[in-house]
Structure 1
C-alpha cells in the first residue's frame, strides 16, 4: 500500500511537471498567469536589493540615513537601490516603477535590462522613461510575438491605426498626423502585404479617401477596390493619377490660403496653415496614397518611359514634401529602395519619416530602410527568421526602434471589411476618372429573395 501511494505521488508530480512544460510551450499566456507570474514576483521581491547591487544600480546612502541606521540597528550601512513602486501584474508580464537615486539616469537601468531579465526569470525587460527621476520597467513573461494577440484596449482615433504588436506587449499605432509618410520594405513572403492589409482595413472604417498604385496589375490592392477612391494598376494609369493628386493638393492649398486671407481682428485660433485648422464643415477628407512595389515606377526600358518616370518621381517627391499640410499622406512599399533605382529615389526616401523593415535578402536593403535613422536596428532587421512572417523592425527619425509583428488577417476578411465600409469613402471629384470599377454582388449574396404570391380576394 505504501509503495502504491509513493508511485501515485511520483506520477502526480511528473504529470504536473509535464503539464506545466506543455502549457509553457503551447499556451504561454496561460502558463504565465498560473505559474510564471507567481515565480517571477517571488524572485523579484526576494532578490531586488541584491540584484540591483550586482547590476551597479545602487548608490551610497545619504549622511543622515547612514547615521540613522548606525544609531538604530548598529549594522553595516549598505548601498541604496532605486525605490520600488507597486508591482502591477498584466496578462503578459509585470510593470513596476522605479524612482532613481540621485546621480542615476534611465540609460543606467536600460544597460542592465539583460541582467535583470535573467535574474528575475522573464522573457524580456524594457525600460521606459516616465518623467524626470522615474522609469517604468516592463517585464514580459513570454514571447508575445510568436503568436500575436492585440491588446483589448487599443488607443485608436482619427488617422491612428493600431496595426501591430510591439515586443513589449503594447500596440504599435500608425499615427499619420505624427508621422505623415512611411516606407515599408520587405522581401517576398516577409509579411509586408499583411502589414499593408491591416493598415488599409483599419483606415477603411474612417472617413478617409484611400488611393492605390499597384503596378502588379492590381493583384495586391484590387480586392479592396470597393473602398478605394482611385486605383492605378500600371505605370500609365499611375502617370494619370499622380497629376490628379497634385491638382487636388494645389486646390487644398488655395482653400487654406483663402482662409488665411480673412479680415484683420479675426481670433488666432481661426487662422490656420494646414488642413486640420479649417472648420470641420469646410475641411476636405484626408487622402492616404498606397504605393505597392514602388520600384515598378522607377524601372524603365525606353527613353519615352524615362521621361514619364521622371515626371512621376517628381510628383511623388512633391507630395511627400508638401502633402502633409494638405492632408495627403504616403505609404510607400517595396522590396528594395536605393539610389540604384534612379534619379530621385534617395530624395524621396529622405522624405519618408516612418520606416518599417521586414525580412530582407541582404544587409544593404536593411541599411536603406534603417541605416540613416537607427544604425543599431540594421542588425536586428537582418536577424529576422524566414519562419516568422510579419516580424519587422520599426524606427523613426528620433532614432528609436523596436520589433513588431502584425496579426494574421485573411484576404477574404480584409476584402469583406472594405465592401462593408464602401459607403464611408469620401467624394473626391478629382479622383473620379480613376475610381476602380466594382462588379456588383450577385443577388444570391444578399440572401434568399421572397417569391411573389397572388392576392386572393
Structure 2
C-alpha cells in the first residue's frame, strides 16, 4: 500500500506534466516553446556547440600563436577553432545567435550545414542571414510558425508598406510598393489568394492612398470594399473605359514632374526630381494602387471587336507597368493562371511585374509562369503546397530570392468594416469620380422596445 501511494505521489505529477507538455506541443506550440523548448534547445546549443561545429566541418585549424599558448599553459589537446559565438537571444518563436566566421570561411559554408544544425539542436528550422562581412546570424525557429499564423505585434506602419503574411523564418512579409512597385499573385480556387488581396486592401485603406479596382468577377471580390475605393470596374467594358483615365492621370503627373524640372541656375540639388517622391509634399499627388483581379478575363475575346479592345487594354496595362512607378501608380495583378497562351502582350506584361507570389496552383506550368523566370528552384516548393493549408504561398522577386509565406485569417466582414471606417480617407481625384462605386447605405440599427412601457399620467 505504501509503494502504491508513493507511486501515485511521484508518478501522478510527472504524468500530468508530461500530458500537459504533449497537449501544449500539439495545440499551443508557442506556449510549449516558451516553457519547454526554449530552455532545452539553449542547453543543447551551449553544451554541444564546439562538437557540432566540428562535426559539420565549420572549424579551422588554430593559429600558431594559439597552439603555442595552449602548449605552454596546459597539456590539453589543441582542437580546431569553431566560429566565435555571440550572445544567445531568445524570441517568442526561437533563438537568434550571431557567429563571427573564422578566416577562410564564408556564409555559404554555414548555410550548407543548416539542416545538420537543426537536427543537432532539436529545432524546427535554422536560417542563415549575412549581417556584415565575416558575421552571420543563425535564426533558430522552434516550431512550425506557418501552422497557426500569428503576426508580430510590433510592426512600424509606413506609407505603402503593408504587412500581409508571415515568413517561415518567423519574420513578417511586408508588401513594400516603394521597393517592389508591381506584383503578380497567382493561385487556384480556395488557395488563399483572396485572403492575401483582402489583407492588402485592408492595410492600404488606413493610408492616404487612392485604391482602384478592376474585378471582372462582377465585383464579388472588391465590391465589399467599395466605401474605400476611388474607382471600380466590374467587367471588361468598364475596364476599357477606366484604363485610359489612369493613363491620362499618369501623363498629367509626368507633366507636373517636368514642370518641376524647369531647372533654374539657382535651383538646389534636392529639388531636382524624376518621380513624385521628390516633389514637395504640398504638390505631391496621392499614390494610386490598381488591383486587377482575374486578369485573364481581360485577355479573353469572343469577337473581332473584343480582340481590338483587348489589345488596347493590354497595351495600357503594359504602359502603366513600365511608367507608372515614377508617377506613383502601382499594380497588383491577380489571377489563377497567367502566361503566353493568354495572347499578345501577356509575357511582356508579366516581365514588368517585379514581385511574384504563387499560392497553390493546379499544375506545374502555372507555377513556372509565376516563378520559373526568377527563381526556378522555387517552382517545386510551390507545387508542394497542400490544399489543407490555404494561404500558404511562395514569394519571390527578380533578385532570385524566395521564401514560403502564409497569410493569417481575416474575415471579409472585418476587412469591409475597415474600409467603411476609413471611407473619409478617399482622396479627391476628379478624373476617377465617374467610376466611383455606389456605396450601399447601411440600415439604421433598430432600437429595442423598452422593458417597461411608459403609461400616461392621469388625474
TM-score (norm 1): 0.97
- Alignment-derived partner of residue 289 in structure 1: 290
1:311-326, aligned counterparts within 5 Å? Answer: 311-326=312-327
1:351-390, aligned counterparts within 5 Å? Answer: 351-390=352-391
1:233-272, aligned counterparts within 5 Å? Answer: 233-272=234-273
- Alignment-derived partner of residue 274 in structure 1: 275
- Alignment-derived partner of residue 205 in structure 2: 204
Q: Indicate if the aligned counterparts of 1:97 and 1:135 stay in contact, CA closer than 8 A.
A: yes
Q: Does 2:182 match 1:219?
A: no
- How far 1:441 moved relative to its partner? 2.0
Distance 1:319 1:210 in 2: 15
- How far 1:66 moved relative to its partner? 1.0
- Alignment-derived partner of residue 156 in structure 1: 157
1:426-445, aligned counterparts within 5 Å? Answer: 426-444=427-445
- Alignment-derived partner of residue 451 in structure 2: none
Q: Indicate if the aligned counterparts of 1:159 and 1:176 stay in contact, CA closer than 8 A.
A: yes
- How far 1:74 moved relative to its partner? 2.1
Aligned to 2:277, the other structure's residue is in SS state helix
TM-score (norm 2): 0.96
Unmatched 5+ stretches in structure 2: 449-459
- How far 1:439 moved relative to its partner? 1.7
Q: Indicate if the aligned counterparts of 1:99 and 1:133 stay in contact, CA closer than 8 A.
A: yes
Aligned to 2:445, the other structure's residue is in SS state helix
Q: Indicate if the aligned counterparts of 1:155 and 1:173 stay in contact, CA closer than 8 A.
A: no
- Alignment-derived partner of residue 101 in structure 1: 102
Distance 1:56 1:228 in 2: 57
Distance 1:278 1:193 in 2: 35
- How far 1:9 moved relative to its partner? 1.5
Unmatched 5+ stretches in structure 1: 449-457
Q: Indicate if the aligned counterparts of 1:156 and 1:173 stay in contact, CA closer than 8 A.
A: no
- How far 1:392 moved relative to its partner? 0.4
Superposed CA RMSD in Å reads: 1.2
- How far 1:3 moved relative to its partner? 2.4
Distance 1:371 1:327 in 2: 28
Distance 1:42 1:76 in 2: 25
Q: Indicate if the aligned counterparts of 1:217 and 1:234 stay in contact, CA closer than 8 A.
A: yes
Deviations along 1:210-231, one digit per CA (max 9) or x if unpaired, are 0000000000000000000000
Aligned to 1:321, the other structure's residue is in SS state helix
- How far 1:318 moved relative to its partner? 0.3
Distance 2:155 2:385 in 1: 26
1:165-184, aligned counterparts within 5 Å? Answer: 165-184=166-185
- How far 1:95 moved relative to its partner? 0.5
Distance 2:264 2:440 in 1: 50
Find runs of 4+ consecutive structure 1 residues off by over 4 angstroms.
Answer: none
Distance 1:26 1:444 in 2: 39
- Alignment-derived partner of residue 16 in structure 1: 17
- How far 1:10 moved relative to its partner? 2.0
- Alignment-derived partner of residue 451 in structure 1: none
Deviations along 1:172-225, one digit per CA (max 9) or x if unpaired, are 111000000000000000000000000110000000000000000000000000
Distance 2:352 2:359 in 1: 20
Distance 1:299 1:61 in 2: 67
